[in-house]
C-alpha cells in the first residue's frame, strides 16, 4: 500500500469511527475496538483528531449531531459499517471530510443562523448571496474546488455568482441540490425538503433516485427517505415574497396559511370547528403585523379570532 493510499484509508476509518461513536449506539466492545485501532498507528490518532476538529468547527457536536447521524443511517442500506459511513451523500460531514486532502488544511467553515421571525441577507465570500428566513441554521464549508452548504433547518435562498469554477452544492436531509443556474431556494421543515427555482436551473438528487433538473418556476419535494416528488409548476415570486416581508396566498387552505404564520410568530392556533381549516384563502399579507393579518382573515372568511396570550381560537361568526 502506498503512503497516499494508507493515509486515505486512515481518513476513511477515522470518519467511520467518528460517526459511529457519536451515533449513540456504541457498546463496550466497540469502544475497546476503537482504542485498539487508535493504538495501531500514529496516523490513526492524527486523522481522527483532524476529523474531530472539523466536526467541532461545523458545530455538529454541540447541536444536531444525533439527528444528522440518524438520517445517515436511515438513508443508506449498505451492510458494512464503514461503507455506510462513507457512501456518497451519507451526511454533509461525510462529504466534507472525504472531499480530498485539501480539506484538512485549507477548509474554511462558517455557521449562519437566524432567530425565530428574523430574516437576514448575507453576501458570501465568493460573491454569491444568501437570504435566510426565520429559524434557519446553515453550515458552510469553502474548499479550493467546491462550495458546500448544509441546511440543518429553515429556509435559504441562494443567488449564485457566475464565473466561479467551483461546484455549489446544498445538502439537506437525504438530498443534494447542485446549482446549474442562478437563484434557487431550499426549505427544510420536519421530515421534508422543498426545492424551488427562481432563475436558471438546479439538479436535485438523493442517491436513491435519478437526479432531476428543475427550471425556473418549478418545485419538488424530497422526503428524508430520499424519495423525490414529481416536478410541479409554481410562481416563485409568490413563494419567495417573504423576502419582501410579505406572504402571498392563492387559494390555500386556512390551516396551511396559519402554519406559515407560525413560522414568523410564536403563536398557536386552534379551531372551534375543524372544518374551518379547509376554508380557502387568497391575498397578500404583511408578515410583521400579526393583528392586521388576523383582522384581514376575520373579514375575508367571516371569522372571529379570540386571543388568550399567544393562543388564538378561531370561530365562525
How do the domains of the chain map onto residue ranges?
3-104, 107-237, 245-316
For domain 107-237, give its CATH number from 3.30.470.10, 3.50.50.60, 2.60.120.1440, 3.40.50.2300. 2.60.120.1440
Residue showing cell 438546479: 202
33, 55, 161, 306 from 43: Cα distances, Å = 16, 18, 39, 65
Partner residues linked to 100 by β-bridges: none
Partner residues linked to 314 by β-bridges: 271, 305
> Which pLDDT does position 191 carry in this prediction?
76
> Which pLDDT does position 74 carry in this prediction?
35
- 228-257 as b/e, with b when 16 or more CB fall inside 10 Å? beebeebebeebbbbeeeebbbeebebeeb
Residue 230: DSSP 8-state: P
> Which pLDDT does position 1 carry in this prediction?
56
Cβ burial, residue 287 (10 Å; 0-12/13-18/19+)? buried
Residue 160: DSSP 8-state: P
> Which pLDDT does position 77 carry in this prediction?
34
Mean pLDDT in order along the chain per 10 residues (317 residues): 70 77 73 87 84 61 39 36 36 53 59 92 94 93 85 94 89 85 89 93 86 95 87 96 96 95 94 96 94 94 95 95
Lookup: cell for 274: 375543524
> Which pLDDT does position 300 carry in this prediction?
93
For domain 245-316, give its CATH number from 3.40.720.10, 3.40.50.1470, 3.20.20.70, 3.55.50.30. 3.55.50.30
Lookup: cell for 290: 400579526
CA–CA dist 100, 57 (Å, integer): 17
Q: Which of 257, 316, 315 is nearest to 290 (CA)?
A: 257
245-316 matches 107-237 in CATH topology: no
> Which pLDDT does position 93 carry in this prediction?
56
How many other C-beta atoms are found inside a 10 Å radius of the C-beta of residue 81?
15
pTM for the full model?
0.71
Residue showing cell 429556509: 155
Q: Is residue 296 within 8 Å of residue 283, measured between CB atoms?
A: yes
End-to-end CA distance of the chain, in Å? 78
> Which pLDDT does position 146 carry in this prediction?
84
Lookup: cell for 268: 398557536
Q: Is residue 188 within 8 Å of residue 154, measured between CB atoms?
A: yes
CA–CA dist 103, 114 (Å, integer): 27
Amino acid at each position: 500500500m502506498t503512503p497516499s493510499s494508507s493515509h486515505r484509508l486512515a481518513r476513511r476509518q477515522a470518519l467511520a469511527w467518528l460517526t459511529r461513536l457519536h451515533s449513540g449506539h456504541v457498546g463496550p466492545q466497540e469502544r475497546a475496538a476503537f482504542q485498539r485501532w487508535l493504538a495501531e498507528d500514529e496516523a490513526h490518532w492524527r486523522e481522527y483528531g483532524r476529523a474531530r476538529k472539523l466536526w467541532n468547527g461545523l458545530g455538529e457536536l454541540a447541536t444536531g449531531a444525533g439527528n444528522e447521524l440518524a438520517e445517515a443511517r436511515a438513508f443508506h442500506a449498505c451492510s458494512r459499517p464503514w461503507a455506510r459511513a462513507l457512501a456518497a451523500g451519507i451526511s454533509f460531514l461525510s462529504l466534507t471530510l472525504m472531499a480530498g486532502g485539501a480539506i484538512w488544511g485549507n477548509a474554511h467553515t462558517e455557521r449562519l443562523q437566524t432567530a425565530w421571525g428574523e430574516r437576514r441577507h448575507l453576501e458570501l465570500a465568493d460573491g454569491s448571496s444568501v437570504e435566510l428566513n426565520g429559524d434557519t441554521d446553515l453550515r458552510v464549508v469553502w474548499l479550493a474546488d467546491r462550495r458546500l452548504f448544509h441546511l440543518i433547518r429553515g429556509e435559504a435562498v441562494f443567488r449564485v455568482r457566475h464565473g466561479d469554477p467551483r461546484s455549489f452544492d446544498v445538502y439537506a436531509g437525504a438530498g443534494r441540490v447542485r446549482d446549474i443556474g442562478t437563484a434557487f431556494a431550499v426549505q427544510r421543515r420536519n421530515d421534508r425538503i422543498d426545492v424551488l427555482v427562481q432563475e436558471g436551473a438546479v439538479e436535485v438528487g438523493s442517491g436513491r433516485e435519478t437526479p432531476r433538473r428543475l427550471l425556473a418556476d418549478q418545485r419538488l419535494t424530497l422526503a428524508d427517505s430520499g424519495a423525490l416528488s414529481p416536478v410541479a409548476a409554481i410562481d416563485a415570486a409568490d413563494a419567495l415574497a417573504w423576502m419582501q416581508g410579505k406572504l402571498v396566498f392563492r387559494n390555500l387552505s386556512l390551516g396551511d396559511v396559519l402554519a406559515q404564520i407560525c413560522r414568523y410568530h410564536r403563536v398557536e392556533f386552534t379551531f372551534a370547528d375543524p372544518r374551518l381549516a379547509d376554508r380557502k384563502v387568497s391575498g397578500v399579507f404583511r408578515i410583521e403585523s400579526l393583528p392586521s393579518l388576523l383582522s384581514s382573515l376575520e373579514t375575508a372568511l367571516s371569522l372571529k379570532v379570540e386571543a388568550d396570550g399567544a393562543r388564538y381560537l378561531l370561530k365562525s361568526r
